[in-house]
Structure 1
Amino acid sequence: MAVPFIEFNNVSSAGRFPGVYSVVARTANFQETVSSTLSAGTIDIVFMLYGLGVGVCLFRCVFGLATLLRLFIQSSKRRRWGFTVVSLDRHVSPFTFFNVLFTGKDDMDNAERETMLLHEWVHRDQYHSIDNIFLEAVTIMFWFNPVVWLFRRDIKAEHEYYADACVLKNGVSPEDYQHILFKARTGIAIDLGNYLSNKTSLINRFTMMTKTRTNHKSSYWSVSLYAALMSVIVLLGAFSARQEEPQFDKVATYEQGEAAMYQTLTARIKYPTIARRENRSGVVQVSFTVNEKGTVENIKAETQKDGYLLKEMVVVGYYQTSEKAKGIDDALKGAAVDAVEGLGKFTPAEKDGKPVRCVLTLPIKFTLGEKI
């Protein structure tokens, strides 16, 4: 969540990481293409649905906290076993919220109750309540992502597995402990949205008690590779989410003005006959460099945007075939490059009062229509 807001300075297409820049540029182009297809109304609907989901999850969390607060205020309290014990007038399994232990009516003997307390001590000492508040916050913000719900479920289950393992390490036999759990159905890590709900089944917990966890080197390698992969994905997302800062005090401009430049281009460019016959259309990104003298050089027909982006110009042709529409080809690229080659002089870009080289990109959209 934080990485996209971090400033990455001194990184450009001419920087130290051309391979990374190329991947980032393509990612950014894909994002722009997707966003350009969404209307403002569609975006408003998406935000409205997101806000509705956030509202429902937030209400669920606040309702759970309010219920715990109400139980704490209305029920009798006492200090015992290192907890502030809240006695509820109902049959519920013991559960903790920080150092507060909520207990209900039960028919356990002292030994069974001591085993349950040991389980709750683990939840308290491991600060599982903080984990659960964090999980609630993440769920509220990313409720639309199914991975968040799976992550939430597994973390809560891990809380129970860990507390169970600590109980068994203290000499309680698995058979006795399973009998107590089945009797009490306890050990829940507090779920703020449904505070008395046990999300981890006893069957899964019983199964985990019989498993032997081993630490293999392959497991560590898997985790390391996963962490590295996620770091690369997050880093690329951070780069592609921001626009590169301008590198010039003044960008290169056409000597006769922008309007004259587009008039010259319109006069020079023609829709290739072969492209019309093959029903080809699309956008050609023509990148070119304006050097320190204002001369145009290094003209290329690219698929991605590079450098300072100029306004798009549109070239309209007419159908000459009923074939299925196709994308851009060498003929369209060649026509775009030829048009830019004859533009003439530019006023060079400036940096710190000195003329510098500047890369410009001109999107030329070739589109076909029916001749009236």
Structure 2
Amino acid sequence: MFYCAYYFLLRKETFFNSNRWFLLFGLITSVILPLIVYTKVVWVNPASLSDLTFSQTNLIETASNTPFTINWFYLILFAYGIGFISLLIKFAIDFYSLNSVLKGKKIYQQADFKFIDTNENIAPFSYFEYIVYNSSMYTASELENIIEHEKIHSDQNHTVDVLISRAFCMLFWFNPIIWLYRKAIIQNLEFIADKEAAKKLEDKKAYQYTLLKITTHENCVAITNHFFQSLIKKRIVMLNKNQSKKRNSWKYYAVIPALAAFVLLFQIEVIAKEKQQTVKEVSGEIKSVDVYKIKKNSTDANLNEIKEKLKKLHNVDFEVSEIKRNSNSDLTSLKVNIKNGKQTAQSIQTGENSPIKDFAVIVTTNKDDSKSVGIQTYDEIKNSKTDGEPKVAISKKLQTKTETNGSNNSNVSAKTNTNTNTNTSTTVIVNSDNDTKVITTTKGSTASFSNGTKVSINETDKLIVVDGKEMPSGFDYNDINSKDIKSVNVYTGTNAVAKYGEKGANGVIEIETRK
């Protein structure tokens, strides 16, 4: 933006000194401004219940082999490093060449200037207080013009501008604008020196002839202000141009709206924060839901933080063990035990080098302030990513409530299937106040234990009843929009047969919609 403002508005004006500071200010602003970020917090509604699985179970998932991917960040960083180091070496060579010209030469001190009359065939130049020239190549009047020009460079410390622009070219070599910007800086410095030198010389035309003569000397020393410049025509044009009118100085302020637009477009970081999730009209029981994510790259500190929050906010005990990580510090083995009063939940994931599947601990607070806990995995197959985070999704789009008869409790144990080539997981929810314990497998079948009796349910053969109406065979309840579901009841075994007869032998799913 600064370069565009200079090129289109200022380069033809004779405000050379102002242009110098404008260009330098542009470099500094271009580095600092992107580091200033304003934060804007946006409160968003939390994910609806349809985005979460509350079925107090967890699916057994098999981790696929991680495909080979190219790390573009390191590749780009490597390319940048090559360019930067190459330019840094070039700068060191130029500095060495300059030092060889200055070292061991006889110096003539005059006021704050140090003159070196060399025998080398090089164009005149200045470097800080040093002014170097070959007197044998010029007449007395030409040499006077050259020295007066270089004094302006030295007196106004133009070498600083040259070095700053060179440093920016090394750091941001990949940006073509920086090379044009450096050219504009150096060219403007020559305009300044030409203008000030012409004021002190009696013959302005002779000075211009000197400029033309020096164009034949192309052997210049880098990182210096040298008298020779390839854009001699522009220098002569600017030297003879009338002074710009002061009212044209408004052009310097034209960049301010552009900077403001830059900040508004790129420097405001929007942070979305979820409101406390309050669940309404879900079986008339749930008040709020809290989700605590456990990812493959979760650190020990993250796990401890979850433990502290669960205990402090919900009085839920959270323990992790059998932690193993691979070379990338990703979790490959993890055992999680959760206890909420008499209710316990367990998740075990084991593997050799494959990272675990991301999952979450769900704490549901009912209207009577009682709490229940559950564990769920991320549905990585059916759901895309949003803002770099997996979208926690419900695979059945249902909240299930299992009802059984009987009063005696039976014990349920979970055996974890371990495979060294892949990552497997098993989750068991046990509620000692409920006769029914549920284990869900990848095939979708459910084993329901009631008073020690095991009943197998084939999910595809379940009778589905929507708003009191029995659905035909093959009906897919996933076609119902989860937002339209008010409540869901699942009946199995004797309960289903008692209510629906033989049609309910394989289980019944009752769905009540908001319609």
Q: What's the TM-score once normalised by structure 1's chain length?
A: 0.57
Q: What does residue 339 of structure 1 align with?
A: 482
Q: CA deviation at 1:124?
A: 1.2
State the number of aligned residues: 261
CA distance in 2, matches of 1:105, 1:337: 93
Describe how 1:292-307 pairs up with structure 2 within 5 A.
Answer: none
Q: CA deviation at 1:197?
A: 9.0
CA distance in 2, matches of 1:89, 1:226: 47
Q: What does residue 172 of structure 2 align with?
A: 142
Q: What does residue 368 of structure 1 align with?
A: none
Gaps of 5+ in 1: 15-38, 272-281, 286-304, 316-334, 345-372
Describe how 1:341-356 pairs up with structure 2 within 5 A.
Answer: none
CA distance in 2, matches of 1:81, 1:60: 33
2:206 aligned residue (173, 176, 190): 176
- Residues 214, 187 of structure 1: alpha-carbon distance in 2 compared, 3 angstrom cutoff: farther
Q: What does residue 239 of structure 1 align with?
A: 268
CA distance in 1, matches of 2:480, 2:234: 66
Q: CA deviation at 1:155?
A: 0.8
| Superimposed CA distance per residue, residues 329-360 of structure 1 (whole angstroms, 9 cap, x where no aligned partner) | xxxxxx9994367699xxxxxxxxxxxxxxxx
Cα pair 1:62 1:193 within 8 Å, conserved: no
Q: CA deviation at 1:108?
A: 2.9
Higher percent of residues as helix:
1
Cα pair 1:157 1:200 within 8 Å, conserved: no
CA distance in 1, matches of 2:70, 2:205: 61
CA distance in 1, matches of 2:97, 2:41: 54
Describe how 1:145-294 pairs up with structure 2 within 5 A.
Answer: 145-185=175-215, 192=222, 198-215=228-245, 217=247, 219-234=248-263, 236-240=265-269, 244=271, 252-253=290-291, 254-256=362-364, 259-260=375-376
- Residues 13, 97 of structure 1: alpha-carbon distance in 2 compared, 3 angstrom cutoff: same
Q: What does residue 104 of structure 2 align with?
A: 74
| Identity between Structure 1 and Structure 2 (%) | 19
Describe how 1:56-71 pairs up with structure 2 within 5 A.
Answer: 56-71=86-101
CA distance in 1, matches of 2:486, 2:216: 79
2:115 aligned residue (62, 85, 92): 85
CA distance in 2, matches of 1:204, 1:42: 44
CA distance in 1, matches of 2:84, 2:275: 42
Q: CA deviation at 1:106?
A: 2.9
Q: CA deviation at 1:244?
A: 4.0
Cα pair 1:64 1:192 within 8 Å, conserved: yes
- Residues 43, 198 of structure 1: alpha-carbon distance in 2 compared, 3 angstrom cutoff: farther
CA distance in 2, matches of 1:336, 1:166: 82
Q: Aligned letter for 1:232?
A: A
Q: Aligned letter for 1:339?
A: S
Q: What does residue 52 of structure 1 align with?
A: 82
Cα pair 1:93 1:187 within 8 Å, conserved: yes
SS in structure 1 opposite 2:71? Answer: helix
Q: What does residue 430 of structure 2 align with?
A: none
Q: Aligned letter for 1:66?
A: Y
- Residues 197, 114 of structure 1: alpha-carbon distance in 2 compared, 3 angstrom cutoff: closer
SS in structure 1 opposite 2:78? Answer: helix
- Residues 90, 283 of structure 1: alpha-carbon distance in 2 compared, 3 angstrom cutoff: same
Higher percent of residues as strand:
2
| Superimposed CA distance per residue, residues 149-183 of structure 1 (whole angstroms, 9 cap, x where no aligned partner) | 10100110001111111122224333211112222
1:99 aligned residue (121, 129, 134): 129
SS in structure 2 opposite 1:89? Answer: coil
CA distance in 2, matches of 1:310, 1:149: 42
Between 163-172 and 253-262, the greater mean CA deviation after superposition: 253-262
CA distance in 2, matches of 1:230, 1:112: 45
| Superimposed CA distance per residue, residues 117-146 of structure 1 (whole angstroms, 9 cap, x where no aligned partner) | 211111112211010111011101111111
2:72 aligned residue (26, 31, 42): 42
Describe how 1:116-131 pairs up with structure 2 within 5 A.
Answer: 116-131=146-161
**Bigger Rg, structure 1 or 2:** 2
- Residues 146, 198 of structure 1: alpha-carbon distance in 2 compared, 3 angstrom cutoff: farther
CA distance in 2, matches of 1:64, 1:337: 73
CA distance in 2, matches of 1:131, 1:336: 68
SS in structure 2 opposite 1:74? Answer: coil
Gaps of 5+ in 2: 1-30, 44-68, 278-288, 292-361, 365-372, 396-477, 488-515
Q: Aligned letter for 1:100?
A: Y
CA distance in 2, matches of 1:46, 1:176: 52
Cα pair 1:83 1:100 within 8 Å, conserved: yes
- Residues 5, 341 of structure 1: alpha-carbon distance in 2 compared, 3 angstrom cutoff: farther
Q: CA deviation at 1:62?
A: 1.6
- Residues 258, 336 of structure 1: alpha-carbon distance in 2 compared, 3 angstrom cutoff: farther
- Residues 232, 145 of structure 1: alpha-carbon distance in 2 compared, 3 angstrom cutoff: same
